[in-house]
């Protein structure tokens, strides 16, 4: 909406399209649409697979630094001399990949062979499907869908089925119990996740990610800069942490306490696929968060629009992903009862109240300038007071822990 | 319109449903049932009803499937494979009668609906119009469905809630 025509037509902005056209011009016209789609799929898979491998390294390095140790730093890049090429352990993802590929793939004899195989495949496929509707840039929307946001969450909800398959097909009671716990968590947090995005859809009056991005414009108009948007973003982010099994909500496979949850009977590359799907889900949810709340591919200020839109999207995406890692390094894991209580007693009521705040915000948008202050005050009150009141009510019985048997 | 995808989708949906009914393993049947629901979603997509298709996947494949699987896992007795047979002759007759009645009502409703093709172009049926229609013209129907579902949910909770012991305070 704010995008001036020159920004949309700048060379860097159109660079991916130009590169694509240079490739597809060699093929006959009827095959081009198919080729364009295939190129988009290949670009998404390659870029996010690279991001996945680098993200695992970054996560281990950052966690290491937070815990006052260097993290992986010994592996050189494979195509450089091994002694000289230890660039921050950049070769670690390659080494991990080779290790995972060459490990033995063990399937329990009693397992349901087909479902045991299908579960990681379905999980990975469904988590890649969610990338299809995210607008990565002004001209980089893989599939333009009228109900794109609904598509995203439909594909995300279907991943629960894959987790159930993994737990049940292993024919292992611990795997099955862990899968049920994982499902309980995913279903609990699906609700605040969906409720937190409803205000965005209400205010943007569209389910199309592209329309939501263009409705936001530059920085002060991003949805995160409104009271309801900020609250919704925080709820969305917490629910996204839980949905992607990230610490502090990584109970489904708490590697230090439970064996590995529903992944107990998986080994080799299937195990790696589960991790890849987890990181893909994290990237997709972050991308959706950027799209819905942080202005998508829009530059924060209009004078910064010379930087292409996909760079802005990538920068925001990386910021959110680093936030995920930072949170993992900071917070201790929740207990199961704390986890469900947080979802049902805290996040869901706050998200419901947030709907009212958004409705008030929508209906007061044409108040006069002095009344805008009143509007902000009322909206902030509507966000902050339930938070404080509910928080107090839920933590009233908590006292500092006393160690009676110490 | 191209009917080849429709036939393929219909065959897949019917085949998965049939195998789900005939299967001995309840979990496999439940998963095949989910596949059948996904086939119905594919049919909606073929009919260019994006919103309904994604809602179908979100609600059936994401939500109802979980209810079914949890119900199967929490209520099933220790036998992994169940024999398929009816408890008694009268129950089989009753099941057939109930199923036949529902089928008859549905077929009657379909036959009596005048299926004259829509005069509006498909472009007019975007998500926005659909939402406005649901919230405006058909708001009462939507509310009634919501109330019925809530009542069903409450009934399920009441039925499933454990009986308090006799000597409970």
Same domain, yes or no, for B2 and B81?
yes
Nearest chain A CA: its distance from B87 CA (Å): 29
Please name the residue of chain B whose CA is at the shortest distance from the CA of residue A179: B70
Instruction: Search chain A and give the residue with CA nearest B71.
Output: A180
Which stretches of A67-112 are DSSP H helices?
A: 92-102
B63 close to A (CB below 8 A): yes
User: DSSP letters of B37-97?
Assistant: HHHHHHHHHHTT-HHHHHHHIIIIIIIIHHHHHHHHHHH--S-SB-----S-HHHHHHHHH
Question: Which of B41, B45, B54 to probe by mutation at the A interface, max A CB count within 10 Å?
Answer: B54
Q: What is the mean pLDDT of chain B?
A: 82
- Give the chain A residue nearest B80 (alpha carbons): A171
Tokens 């060459």, located at residue:
A102
pLDDT at B129 over 70: yes
**Nearest Cα residue to A214 out of A1, A366, A8, A24:** A1
Do the domain assignments include residue B21? yes
In terms of CA atoms, which chain B residue is nearest residue A171?
A: B80
Contact A246, A282 (CB under 8 A): yes
Question: Which residues in chain A are closer than 8 Å to B63, comparing Cβ atoms?
Answer: 157, 187
Angle at B70 between CA B67 and CA B76, to 5 degrees: 130
A160 CB-near residues (< 8 Å, 6+ apart): A183, A186, A187, B62, B65, B66
Question: Could you tell me how many CB contacts below 8 A there are between chain A and chain B?
Answer: 59
Residue with tokens 């049940």: A168
pTM score, whole prediction: 0.87
Q: B1 pLDDT band (50/70/90 cuts)?
A: low
Interface of A with B (CB under 8 A): 115, 145-147, 150-151, 153-155, 157-158, 160-161, 164-165, 168, 176, 180, 183, 187, 190, 205-207
Q: With CA atoms as reference, report the closest residue to A319 among A58, A43, A13, A45.
A: A58
Pick among A132, A133, A149, A150 to test the B interface (most B CBs inside 10 A): A150
B65 and chain A in contact, CB less than 8 A: yes
Residues B41 and B107 in one domain: no
Kindly state whether residues B100 and B111 are assigned to the same domain. Answer: yes
Instruction: State the pLDDT at residue A289.
Output: 94
Q: What is the ipTM of this complex?
A: 0.80
C-alpha–C-alpha distance, residues A124 and A122, integer Å: 6
Judging contacts by C-beta atoms under 8 Å, the chain A residues touching residue B73 are 168, 176, 180
Per-residue pLDDT of A236-292, as tens digits, reads 999 999 998 888 888 877 776 777 788 888 888 888 898 899 999 999 999 999 999
DSSP A345: I
Say if B12 falls within a structural domain: yes
The pLDDT assigned to A385 comes to: 93
Task: Please report residues of B whose CB lies closer than 8 A to that of A161.
Answer: 31, 34, 61-62, 65-66
How many Å lie between the alpha carbon of B91 and the closest alpha carbon of chain A?
A: 32
Tell me if B167 is assigned to some domain.
Answer: no
pLDDT tens figures, B73-103: 877 655 555 555 666 788 888 889 999 999 9
Task: Please report, in tens digits, the pLDDT of each residue of chain A (406 residues total).
Answer: 344 455 667 777 778 888 887 877 777 777 788 888 888 899 899 999 999 988 999 999 999 999 999 888 877 776 665 555 567 778 888 888 888 889 888 888 888 888 999 999 999 999 999 999 999 988 888 888 888 899 999 988 888 889 999 988 888 888 888 888 888 899 889 999 999 999 999 898 888 899 999 888 887 889 998 999 999 999 999 999 999 888 888 887 777 677 778 888 888 888 889 889 999 999 999 999 999 999 888 888 888 888 888 899 999 999 999 999 999 999 988 888 888 889 999 999 999 999 999 999 988 888 888 888 888 999 999 999 999 999 898 888 877 777 777 5
CB-closest option in A146, A160, A165 to B62: A160
With CB atoms and an 8 Å threshold, state whether A147 touches B127.
yes
Shared domain check, B111 and B56? no
CA distance A199 to B132: 17
Give the domain range for residue B110. 87-117
Which positions in chain A touch B69 (Cβ < 8 Å)?
Answer: 164
Cβ pair B50:A147 closer than 8 A: yes
pLDDT of amino acid A346: 93
Same-domain check for residues B25 and B77: yes
Domain count for chain B, please give it.
3
- CA-CA distance, A2 to B4, in Å (whole number)? 44
Q: How is residue A324 written in tokens?
A: 């995920």
Are residues B154 and B77 located together in one domain of the fold? Answer: no
User: Are residue B9 and residue B30 in the same domain, yes or no?
Assistant: yes
Minimum-distance CB partner of A154 among B57, B69, B127: B57
Nearest alpha-carbon partner for A382 in A226, A200, A225, A228: A228
CATH label of the domain that carries residue B51: 1.20.120.1200
Instruction: Choose from A395-399, B56-60, B111-115 the range with maximum mean pLDDT.
Output: B56-60
Most B CBs within 10 Å, among A184, A189, A207, to test the B interface: A207
In chain A, residues with a C-beta closer than 8 Å to the C-beta of B58 are 150, 153-154, 157
Set of chain A residues whose Cβ sits within 8 Å of the Cβ of B127: 146-147, 206-207
- Is B68 a domain residue? yes
pLDDT confidence bin for B122, thresholds 50/70/90: low
Q: Which residues of B touch A146 (CB under 8 A)?
A: 50-51, 126-127
Same-domain status, B66 and B108: no
Q: Does B70 contact A168 at a Cβ distance shorter than 8 Å?
A: no
Search chain B and give the residue with CA nearest A153.
B58
Alpha carbon of B62: minimum distance to chain A alpha carbons (Å): 5
């Amino acid at each position: 909406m704010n995008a001036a025509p020159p920004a949309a037509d700048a060379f860097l902005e159109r660079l991916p399209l130009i590169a694509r056209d240079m490739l597809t011009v060699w093929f006959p016209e009827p095959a081009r649409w198919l080729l364009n789609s295939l190129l988009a799929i290949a670009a998404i898979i390659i870029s996010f697979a690279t991001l996945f491998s680098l993200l695992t390294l970054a996560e281990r390095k950052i966690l290491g630094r937070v815990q006052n140790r260097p993290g992986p730093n010994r592996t050189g890049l494979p195509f450089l001399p091994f002694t000289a090429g230890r660039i921050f352990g950049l070769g670690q993802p390659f080494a991990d990949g080779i290790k995972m590929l060459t490990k033995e793939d063990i399937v329990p004899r009693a397992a349901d062979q087909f479902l045991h195989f299908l579960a990681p495949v379905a999980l990975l496929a469904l988590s890649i499907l969610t990338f299809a509707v995210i607008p990565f840039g002004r001209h980089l929307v893989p599939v333009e869908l009228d109900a794109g946001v609904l598509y995203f969450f439909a594909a995300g909800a279907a991943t629960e089925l894959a987790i159930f398959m993994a737990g049940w097909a292993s024919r292992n009671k611990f795997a099955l119990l862990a899968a049920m716990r994982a499902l309980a968590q995913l279903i609990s947090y699906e609700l605040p996740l969906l409720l937190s995005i409803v205000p965005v859809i209400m205010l943007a009056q569209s389910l199309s990610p592209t329309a939501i991005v263009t409705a936001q414009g530059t920085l002060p108009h991003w949805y995160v800069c409104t009271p309801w948007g900020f609250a919704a973003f925080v709820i969305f982010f917490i629910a996204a942490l839980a949905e992607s099994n990230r610490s502090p909500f990584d109970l489904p496979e708490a590697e230090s306490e439970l064996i590995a949850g529903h992944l107990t009977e998986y080994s080799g590359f299937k195990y790696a696929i589960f991790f890849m799907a987890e990181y893909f889900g994290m990237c997709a949810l972050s991308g959706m968060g950027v799209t819905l709340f942080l202005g998508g591919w829009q530059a924060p200020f209009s004078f910064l629009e010379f930087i292409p839109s996909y760079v802005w999207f990538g920068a925001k995406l990386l910021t959110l992903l680093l936030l995920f890692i930072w949170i993992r390094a900071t917070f201790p894991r929740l207990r199961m009862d704390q986890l469900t209580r947080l979802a049902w007693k805290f996040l869901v009521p706050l998200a419901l109240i947030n709907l009212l705040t958004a409705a008030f915000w929508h209906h007061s948008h044409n108040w006069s300038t002095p009344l805008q202050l009143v509007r902000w005050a009322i909206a902030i009150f509507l966000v902050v007071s339930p938070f404080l009141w509910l928080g107090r009510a839920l933590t009233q019985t908590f006292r500092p822990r006393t160690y009676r048997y110490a | 319109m191209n009917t080849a995808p429709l036939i393929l989708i219909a065959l897949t949906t019917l085949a998965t449903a049939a195998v789900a009914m005939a299967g001995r393993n309840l979990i496999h049947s439940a998963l095949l049932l989910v596949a059948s629901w996904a086939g119905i979603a594919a049919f909606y997509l073929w009919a260019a009803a994006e919103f309904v298709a994604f809602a179908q996947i979100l609600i059936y494949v994401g939500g109802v499937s979980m209810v079914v699987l949890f119900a199967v896992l929490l209520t099933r007795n220790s036998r992994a494979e169940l024999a398929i047979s009816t408890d008694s002759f009268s129950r089989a007759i009753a099941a057939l009668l109930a199923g036949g009645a529902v089928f008859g009502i549905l077929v009657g409703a379909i036959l009596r609906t005048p299926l004259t093709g829509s005069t509006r172009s498909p472009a007019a049926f975007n998500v926005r119009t659909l939402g406005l229609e649901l919230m405006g013209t058909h708001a009462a129907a939507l509310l009634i469905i919501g109330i019925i579902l809530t009542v069903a949910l409450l009934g399920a909770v009441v039925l499933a809630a454990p009986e308090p012991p006799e000597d409970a305070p």
